[in-house]
Structures are given as C-alpha cells and as structure tokens.
Amino acid sequence: MRCPDGPPCVVAYPECKGSHGAHSDGKPKGKPGNAATKKARIEAHRLFDLIWKENLVRNRGAAYSWMQKAMSLSKAEAHIGEFSIEQCEKLLRAVYQDYPKVRGDRWTAIMVDPLGD
C-alpha cells in the first residue's frame, strides 16, 4: 500500500474507530489507537522530542536511550506509536522530572492531568 499524496499517511480501522500513522510505503508507524490514545501519543511525542530538539541530550538516539532507561523498556519497546495511555502519562512525568527546562507553564497542569483533559 502506498499513500497517494505522501506523508502524513493514516491507516484506519473502522470496526474499532482506531487508526495510526503510516510510512509512505504503507508500513505502520505504530499500533492502532482510539482518539484518547492518539491524543496521548501526540502529546507524549511532542514533549519527548523537545529533549533532543532543544539539545538537552546529545542527539535523538540519546533521547531514546534515556527513555528506555527511565521507563525500563527494551529498544524494541521504546516506540511512542505503540504506547498505551498509561505509558504516555509515565513518559510525560519522566520528561518533566528529569528535564526541568521543558516544564514551562504546563508543569503544574501535567502533574494533575497529564493529557490536559
């Protein structure tokens, strides 16, 4: 399967109303998730990406190594596109705890309601 217009490509599952992103060749980027799971994954990835985009670690690979250690994950398990809502919340808390520079105004809110609902 190829995405006709290139990224972003989404694979949908109407039976469960789930979907996930896909690479341009159709290969899935993660596991299907409902709206709440997708929201959690997007927020977790947005925040996680800041630790390497703002040079709080050496590079993207170092950020993923940190994630593996912080969450007790194998390299294969350290894929936000496959996380549950609970794993996303755990990642958000870990980022805010270990990287205070990304806390900003959301710190108090995230500790009360990690996904801002």
Residue spans per domain, the chain: 1-33, 34-112
CB 102, CB 47: distance < 8 Å: yes
DSSP-derived secondary structure letter, 59:
S
Per-position pLDDT tens, the chain of length 117: 444 444 444 555 455 455 556 657 766 666 778 889 988 999 999 999 999 998 999 999 999 999 999 999 999 999 999 999 999 999 999 998 999 887 655 544 455 455 565
3-class SS at 15?
Answer: coil
pTM: 0.69
Handedness of CA 54, 90, 24, 11 (dihedral sign): negative
